Amino acid sequence: MITKPLPSLTRFKFIPTLFMLFSLAVFLNGCDSNDKSKKKSFSIQQKTQKYTKDTTLKGRVSYNKHTLISGEIKVTDSKGKLVASLQLDKQSQYSIKIPAGTELPLILSYYPGANSTNKDKLKSVAIYTAIKKYDINELTTFIAKKAKELGGYTHNNMVMAADSTVGIPDANKTSTGFRGDPTKQYGGWH
């Protein structure tokens, strides 16, 4: 009977060390996985902005693509304190003055008048001093409500709320899904 010599055990000395490191990694990884009460979150702290001088906010009030020409617009701060208000006077465009020192966010709320075709309260939220135009409609109302549900009128919440309103088209309307002359897609390239 011919027997082969056993391989040298010195070649396999790293196996117990490798096994021990692997076991330690699995153990340490599993230590925190059972603690579901700890929530890891990443949040960007937004610096409170305020108007340094009197500022005029402008926009248009509409509902279902129809302009609203009567009703009241009230601007309140995040605590519900009235900052400014105005009555729409037979036009859907508004222009409202915000005093210097007013902190953001500001909630622009539309309250329908007695002659209004719309009976819903609409709103829009101002979170940046650089933006002066704020339309008030059912889309801005949905975004404001969703942001409030997410925790308040912060940049992150407003972006997530707006992102959730965007729908994906039923048909593939990208250039890869287009069959034909790509220069005529979406009105052509100019």
Per-residue pLDDT tens over the stretch 165-190: 766 555 545 555 555 555 554 454 44
Question: How many Å apart are CA 173 and CA 185, to the nearest integer?
Answer: 9
Structure tokens of 69? 């020409």
Structure tokens of 146? 């969703």
Predicted confidence (pLDDT) at residue 103 exceeds the cutoff of 60: yes
Amino acid at 88: L
Instruction: Supply the pLDDT for residue 41.
Output: 46
Per-residue pLDDT tens over the stretch 128-161: 999 999 999 999 999 999 999 999 999 999 999 9
pLDDT band at 114 (very low <50, low <70, confident <90, very high): confident
Which percentage of the chain shows pLDDT scores above 70?
Answer: 60
Domains, the chain, with CATH or none: 55-137 (2.60.40.10)
Longest Cα–Cα distance in the chain: 110
The set of residues, in sequence order, having a beta carbon less than 8 Å from that of 62 and lying 6+ positions away, is: 68, 92, 135, 136, 137
